């Protein structure tokens, strides 16, 4: 059942066509752990500054998330400011203050070293590898990355990719990482770099999951309200890994189910600003939407 | 079983990153009827010029397509020249010569008036309506349209929409027609205009089908080779309507199946230039790909 995530905890300031929010709790590890907490116990490893308050810690505690690996250091918490225009397919970053995140050296509590499932959020690939090697007994290790590391630290990223089981990135990143425009060819090239499981997030167009030689394509859940895409990718990863940690079943059929749970969690995340919808959820709502998702995609021939 | 299509027959000159072709047989009615011919007998109503040769007629005849409604008049056949750049998501039109198509007045042979299934290709909405009213006994009437008619002839289009059962358009057109960015809201607005069935084509991201209150989303088949997107939308419509004409079953489950057959036919179309792959096919290949499509999308929860 043990699931650990390492990544960022941040304060986000967001503007979308539907409103804005100032300095709300965000970051990859936050979205991941809140989403995963609906499925399995989660341990978060991250760093925050002195400005991180009890009410912020309370968000994790209320979801039963283990924050013994959430380090607090002097300085300010990571801040990001961005906006989404028109169809909200891409964020425009207005300001990034790395603050305490710049010197982040993940420290893994002894109790966490036996975690069976590990998600390496979007941090320097050397740090990802460092964490990965400390959890040598993990049954499934998944990683995220981004354009910045693909172009700036290709050698370090290549080494990390050799040692992870799954890579969860978006379509543009998959094409950039492989240098190939065709998604099938890009996937095979990335699988040859190490991760036999590749989840390609395609935003409002769903997810394509390459698992060795098997491929699963799933559309996105259709929403009437779509307010804020921030954290959708990490929320997907949280639902995906959370379901796997809960079920402990790494069969292809169950990995496909995990893609559906991830998609459903992401569909909740974007319905409101920040974490609001993910906190204000119920197991019944999740299961109801999974059934709706099944109806949305079902056919027989 | 009777399926009739009215639309364009053209000579296309196409350039894509994978090659080029000069003056090859194309047009909406051509792609539609060749695709549909794999499922049911098809009657095509269109106009060509004096430069339309026996070898072009032979393409229709070899597929068993009824060309008694293919009128031949003095002048030159419709010509289109276009190119696709990079990811091939959009065509850039380099030249359009309407030629004999400019004065096209569809003439429906008496034998065709009893057709049970009708596809109104992308022509002036007044002509669509004129044809539609002559087939008053049709069980299912589907129409295509485009940005040009949405902006230039909104009143005529509105009248046509009132009298068709299904509209098959792409995502950008659905948003333009409804004036709404959100696809769910756009679909409800369009259904309120008349067509209770709305198929939204999303290119490489698949299809979303709104059928009264039911919604079906399906990804696109994943291809290693993707050479020429020309005609993919009309090919989809041909597979969709062809399967319906063959099965004569308008249940939601069978309409979803029709979406899958349409998607599979479109996936063949784009594998090679023009009609090449659609002509060089077999029923076994189609059924094999339908099974692959099922594997690509299948999950159970």
Chain B CB contacts of A291 under 8 Å are 301
Res. A58: pLDDT tops 90: yes
Neighbour tally for A144: CB within 10 Å: 25
Chain B CB contacts of A198 under 8 Å are none
Mean pLDDT, rounded, of chain B: 96
Chain B CB contacts of A224 under 8 Å are 182, 184-185
CB contact under 8 Å between B226 and A182, yes or no, is: yes
CB contact under 8 Å between B300 and A224, yes or no, is: no
Q: In sequence order, which residues have a C-beta less than 8 Å from that of residue A268 and are 6 or more positions away?
A: A235, A277, A278, A281, A285, A286, A289
The angle that helices A154-162 and A183-193 make with each other, rounded to 10 degrees, is 80
Cα–Cα distance for residue pair A173/A182, rounded to 1 Å = 13
ipTM of the complex: 0.93
CB contact under 8 Å between A299 and B205, yes or no, is: no
Question: Which residue in A has a C-alpha nearest to residue B214's C-alpha?
Answer: A296
Cα–Cα distance for residue pair A259/A214, rounded to 1 Å = 14
Q: What is the mean pLDDT of residues B256-272?
A: 98
Question: Which residue in A has a C-alpha nearest to residue B227's C-alpha?
Answer: A182
What does the pLDDT look like over A176-228, one tens digit per residue? 999 999 999 999 999 999 999 999 999 999 999 999 999 999 999 999 988 99
Structural domains of chain A, count: 1
Which 3 state secondary structure label does DSSP give A73? coil
Question: Which residue in A has a C-alpha nearest to residue B221's C-alpha?
Answer: A217
Res. B1: pLDDT tops 70: no
Write down the pLDDT at residue A31: 98
Q: Are strands B166-170 and B3-6 parallel, antiparallel or unpaired?
A: unpaired
For residue A85, report the phi and psi dihedrals to the nearest 5 degrees.
Answer: -110, 155
Q: What is the mean pLDDT of residues B158-170?
A: 98
CB contact under 8 Å between B301 and A181, yes or no, is: no
Smallest Cα–Cα separation from B117: which of B137, B138, B136? B138
Cα–Cα distance for residue pair A81/A70, rounded to 1 Å = 23
pLDDT band at B261 (very low <50, low <70, confident <90, very high): very high
pLDDT band at B298 (very low <50, low <70, confident <90, very high): very high
What does the pLDDT look like over A105-126, one tens digit per residue? 999 999 999 999 999 999 999 9
CB contact under 8 Å between A222 and B206, yes or no, is: no
Cα–Cα distance for residue pair A232/A164, rounded to 1 Å = 22
pLDDT band at B90 (very low <50, low <70, confident <90, very high): confident
Which 3 state secondary structure label does DSSP give B91? strand
Per the CB < 8 A criterion, the answer to whether B11 and B97 are in contact is no
Residues of B with CB under 8 A from a CB of A: 86-87, 181-185, 202, 205-206, 208, 214-220, 222-224, 226, 253, 256-257, 259-260, 290-291, 294-301
Cα–Cα distance for residue pair A215/B235, rounded to 1 Å = 24
What does the pLDDT look like over B174-223, one tens digit per residue? 999 999 999 999 999 999 999 999 999 999 999 999 999 999 999 999 99
CA atoms within 13 A on the CB side of B157: 21
Q: How far apart are the first and last CA of chain B?
A: 37
State the CATH number of the domain containing residue B22: 3.40.1190.20
CB contact under 8 Å between B217 and A220, yes or no, is: yes
CB contact under 8 Å between A185 and B224, yes or no, is: yes
Residue B90 is encoded by which pair of tokens? Answer: 């959009």
How far is the alpha carbon of B41 from chain A, nearest alpha carbon, in Å? 21
CB burial class (10 A; 0-12, 13-18, 19+) of residue A62?
A: exposed
Q: How far apart are the first and last CA of chain A?
A: 37
Cα–Cα distance for residue pair A187/B296, rounded to 1 Å = 15
Question: Which residue in A has a C-alpha nearest to residue B205's C-alpha?
Answer: A205
The angle that helices B252-269 and B28-36 make with each other, rounded to 10 degrees, is 110
Res. A135: pLDDT tops 80: yes
Considering only the beta carbons, identify the residue of A214, A296, A300 that sits closest to B217.
A296
Per the CB < 8 A criterion, the answer to whether B49 and B117 are in contact is no
- DSSP letter, residue B94: E
Write down the pLDDT at residue A1: 59
Long-range contacts at B132-137 (CB < 8 A, ≥ 24 apart):
B132/B160, B132/B163, B132/B164, B133/B163, B134/B108, B135/B4, B135/B108
CB contact under 8 Å between A206 and B219, yes or no, is: yes
Domain that holds residue A109: 3-85+93-297
Stated length of chain B: 301
CB contact under 8 Å between A215 and B222, yes or no, is: yes
Chain B CB contacts of A214 under 8 Å are 295
CA atoms within 13 A on the CB side of B293: 29
Chain B CB contacts of A206 under 8 Å are 205-206, 217, 219
How far is the alpha carbon of B142 from chain A, nearest alpha carbon, in Å? 21
Res. A87: pLDDT tops 90: no
CB contact under 8 Å between B297 and A205, yes or no, is: no
> Which candidate in A88, A219, A258 is best for mutational testing of the B interface (most B CBs within 10 A)?
A219
Neighbour tally for A200: CB within 10 Å: 23
CB contact under 8 Å between B257 and A202, yes or no, is: no
Per the CB < 8 A criterion, the answer to whether B175 and B142 are in contact is no
Per the CB < 8 A criterion, the answer to whether A50 and A116 are in contact is no
Residue B19 is encoded by which pair of tokens? Answer: 């090659």
Smallest Cα–Cα separation from A239: which of A220, A223, A219, A259? A259
pLDDT band at B86 (very low <50, low <70, confident <90, very high): confident
pLDDT band at A172 (very low <50, low <70, confident <90, very high): very high
């Amino acid at each position: 059942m043990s699931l650990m995530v390492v990544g960022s905890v941040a304060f986000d300031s967001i503007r979308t066509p539907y409103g804005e929010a100032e300095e709300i709790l965000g970051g990859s590890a936050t979205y991941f752990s809140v989403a995963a907490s609906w499925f399995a116990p989660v341990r978060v490893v991250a760093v925050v500054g002195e400005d991180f308050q009890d009410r912020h810690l309370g968000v994790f505690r209320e979801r039963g998330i283990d924050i013994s690996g959430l380090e607090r250091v002097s300085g300010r918490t990571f801040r990001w400011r961005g906006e989404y225009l028109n169809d909200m397919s891409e964020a425009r970053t207005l300001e990034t203050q790395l603050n305490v995140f710049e010197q982040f050296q993940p420290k893994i509590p002894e109790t966490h070293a036996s975690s069976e499932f590990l998600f390496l959020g979007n941090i320097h690939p050397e740090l990802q590898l460092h964490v990965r090697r400390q959890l040598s007994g993990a049954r499934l290790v998944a990683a995220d990355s981004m354009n910045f590391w693909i172009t700036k630290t290709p050698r370090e990223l290549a080494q990390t990719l050799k040692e992870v089981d799954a890579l969860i990135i978006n379509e543009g990143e998959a094409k950039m990482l492989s240098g190939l425009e065709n998604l099938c060819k890009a996937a095979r090239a990335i699988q040859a770099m190490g991760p036999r499981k590749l989840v390609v997030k395609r935003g409002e167009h769903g997810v394509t999951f390459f698992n060795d030689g098997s491929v699963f394509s799933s559309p996105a859940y259709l929403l009437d309200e779509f307010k804020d895409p921030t954290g959708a990718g990490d929320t997907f990863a949280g639902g995906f890994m959370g379901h796997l940690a809960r079920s402990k079943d790494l069969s292809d059929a169950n990995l496909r189910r995990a893609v559906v749970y991830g998609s459903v969690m992401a569909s909740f995340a974007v319905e409101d600003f920040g974490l609001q919808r993910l906190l204000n959820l119920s197991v019944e709502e999740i299961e109801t939407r999974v059934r709706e998702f099944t109806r949305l995609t079902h056919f027989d021939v």
